[in-house]
Structure 1
Amino acid sequence: MSTPPPKKEPAPIKDLPELKAALQLAIGLELSTIPVYLTALYSIKEGTNTEAAQTIRSVVMEEMLHMTLAANVLNALGEKPSTQPVTFRGKAVKPVPEYPATNPLVSGIGELVLAPFTPEAVKSFVRIEAPFHGAKSLKDVERVADKYATIGEFYTAISTALDDKSKVCKDKDFKDRNQVAATHYYGGAGHAIRVTDRTSALAAIKMIVDEGEGMPELNLRQQAKKVTDNDRLNNGWQMYSHYARFRELQTGRRFRSYQKAKEIPEGSLVPIDYDSVHPAFYVKYDAAGTPGSPEGIALNRFDLAYTRVVDDLYLAFAGEQRTVEDKLAPGGKREADPLLLAVHGMRTLKDRAVALMRTPDPAKPERRLCPRFHYAATAAERKKLEKLTEEMAGGVG
């Protein structure tokens, strides 16, 4: 029996439209990890696991920065970020995932699932952020036809295309368009880079890679707690690679200052109590809902709030405003910065998620409800979800 030939690496990004499509999907890739980390964060009972919560929260904020950086590069090339399906190499791909999710471009990540803060969840975080996603080397990563093996390989393809002056993009293709400024970002390491040319575009992609997903193998052989001035917050908290931070949670110890990222942390203990976690159990979104169910109403309202946050983020990336109700404004409405609205929306998400995770699952009361992070992609679906939620609320009590 003959051995099947190894699957080939994806072809280089061939032109500007393909590069723009890849960048649209890069924004979605960064977004895809945020619900995974937030589900674990929200499941931690208040006042417990404070160091773990701080670590996860800091990574989430940096994932939002990575979305911003990818969006700034895309805007500089003349394309607005969008949640609509993207055609990449003949296939229509949705940038915003439905969970459990398998990345449409990167095979090595594996399945992204929404789960509470457990050893298994932290292990999956390490897999996501590791250079080879748990494999020993690039050749050991499962390669699927037409997919990149790792996130690092995907971003290398983007960087190579951005640096290609002859076939992919000319110097004139870069313009100062719809940039999210560094003053808008807070809460984590790094900063938003204003992309106006090829050099700043490459710098933006490099920051994504160095901080988190796509981390080069070389970084494993460097100091785990390598910190620059950009990675040190005013309160003294040090930010280093997502991989190293999650390895600390996985092992329950901090890296010593001289240790390399590939080593096992040997420093001070990180107190972790997996018993102080709500036992949330994820149930996939069902468009039919559960008529008359208070639990169904709460889940739907969370999905609507998540949809609003995603829309506000993409509006901000596209350089647009959102009209909001304001009794004090002329005509009762005003234009608002959607990035600030998204920040407020994240607080609403947290409140609704915590309430869900305190609510017993009707099917098995020993479990708690888990946010679904379902994105209602069309106006028709949102209206349907809103109407269903109203009808369900009317039938309760």
Structure 2
Amino acid sequence: MTVDAPAPISTLKDLKAALQLAIGLELSTIPVYLTALYSLKEGHNTDVAVAIRSVVMEEMLHMTLAANVLNALGEVPCTAPVDFQSRRNLSPIPAYPLESPLVSGIGKLDLRPLTPEAVAGFVRIEHPLHGAAELADIPLSSSGYRTIGQFYNAIDHALGDRTVCPDDAFEPLRQVPGSAYYGGAGRVIEVTDRETARQAVRTILDQGEGLPEEYLHEPAKKVTDADRLGSGWQMYSHYARFREIQTGRRFRTDQLAEDPPAGAMLLVDYSAVHPALSVPRNFHTLGSSEAAALDAFDLAYSELVDDVYLAFARRPRQVSSPPVADPGRDRPTLQPAVHGMYALKIRAITLMRTPNPAAPGRTLCPRFAYVPPGGDRDKLVQDVATMRGLHR
């Protein structure tokens, strides 16, 4: 069945907006994967943890690549909503449960511990057609894109079109260097021109959710030089890694990605997982120790997101409105944000060991609720300080 192609990105303004949203699209999967990762009880599911952690780090790489392309076009990555084509006020920052404003095929993104349902969701996200047999089987929402691959291909085509993106649009400023990234496969590409911009976008397409449908007919354990780590690990596609977790089996080297894994056993123990359950931000009352812990996590997460965007902007100032370019200033790196992610793990594990008063037999779950700088952030800071004082 013939499927109408999405409307092309036809202006430089929309291309920049698409890249802002691409950064947010990559960010949107990270809390979903981290919630499952943090739910694993210590000493269990070690191979599962390695696989999920590696994917998270590569999603960070994809955010960085999209940010470098945006920076090279003279636009600073920021958390403020954008207008894209006919859609207005689209936030690049996810709020869960999330229905993607861009891609209808990925469905709803929920925060949940490692369960068979959660892993099935991971596989759906990373599948070239998001689990559908054909592109036409994916309902087309107002987003205009059925798959992540369609969205990134639209960006790639716009970058290659000189009427949309002229040669003089590129300003190789504020590039996050390769030394700022570690912990996963791939490398940061510093974008200086059209060729390196398209190379960065194609890296995202090849490594993660934007894989073409043809990938399913290729070897599941297809590995490039960029996918080989110094430790000896070979990081094949996100889809293949999650299929192995889903089935509890490794892919054999002679298998295709569309095949069910039939190699060595991969131990996945769903009983060795904290039974976390996500609750809305308004479920608590002031004075609750559970509320204090949840709010403190949201504050730490909000500050972490700010750190990431500040590193992308290469300037230490507020990110809710784009700063003016100043390549001569001291430039922060991504390392504080990466370290902040590990610090966030301690808070998350503490939450997941805390009984959930809204659901007997379950524990608290991180909400990964981003609160933008301003009045709401100030109130959150005050609430956290007040609750800490009450529960000393």
Q: Smaller-chain TM-score range?
A: over 0.9
Does 2:326 correspond to 1:368? no
Does 2:152 correspond to 1:159? no
Amino acid of the residue matched to residue 303 of structure 1? Answer: D
1:80-159 to 2 correspondences below 5 Å: 80-90=76-86, 91-159=88-156
Partners of 1:28 and 1:96 within 8 A in 2 = yes
Taking structure 1 as the reference length, the TM-score comes to 0.92
1:161-310 to 2 correspondences below 5 Å: 161-165=158-162, 167-286=163-282, 289-310=284-305
Shift of 1:395: 3.4
For 2:190 and 2:145, the matched residues in 1 are separated by 28
Moved more, 47-56 or 214-223: 214-223
Amino acid of the residue matched to residue 79 of structure 1? Answer: E
Partners of 1:122 and 1:250 within 8 A in 2 = yes
Query: Deviations for 1:32-57, whole angstroms, at most 9, x for unmatched residues?
Result: 00000000000000110000000000
Equivalent residue, structure 2, for 1:377: 372
Query: Deviations for 1:59-88, whole angstroms, at most 9, x for unmatched residues?
Result: 000000000000000011110000011111
For 1:62 and 1:396, the matched residues in 2 are separated by 38
Query: Deviations for 1:192-239, whole angstroms, at most 9, x for unmatched residues?
Result: 001111111111011001110111011111111111221111111110
Query: Deviations for 1:104-146, whole angstroms, at most 9, x for unmatched residues?
Result: 0111110000000011000000000001111001111111134
Shift of 1:391: 2.3
For 1:89 and 1:53, the matched residues in 2 are separated by 39
Q: Unaligned 5+ residue runs, structure 2?
A: 319-329
Equivalent residue, structure 1, for 2:351: 356
Amino acid of the residue matched to residue 87 of structure 1? Answer: D
Shift of 1:378: 2.9
Amino acid of the residue matched to residue 337 of structure 2? Answer: A
DSSP-derived class of the 1:245 partner: helix
Partners of 1:292 and 1:393 within 8 A in 2 = no
Partners of 2:185 and 2:226 within 8 A in 1 = yes
For 1:175 and 1:44, the matched residues in 2 are separated by 44
Shift of 1:337: 2.7
DSSP-derived class of the 1:342 partner: helix
Query: Deviations for 1:132-172, whole angstroms, at most 9, x for unmatched residues?
Result: 1110011111111342000001011111100001x201111
Equivalent residue, structure 2, for 1:21: 17
Shift of 1:321: 3.2
From the superposition, tell whether residues 336 and 152 of structure 1 become closer, same or farther in structure 2 (CA, over 3 Å). Answer: closer
User: Number of matched residues?
Assistant: 379
Partners of 2:180 and 2:333 within 8 A in 1 = no
Partners of 1:253 and 1:270 within 8 A in 2 = yes
Equivalent residue, structure 2, for 1:68: 64
Partners of 1:7 and 1:143 within 8 A in 2 = no
Partners of 1:312 and 1:338 within 8 A in 2 = no
Amino acid of the residue matched to residue 125 of structure 1? Answer: F
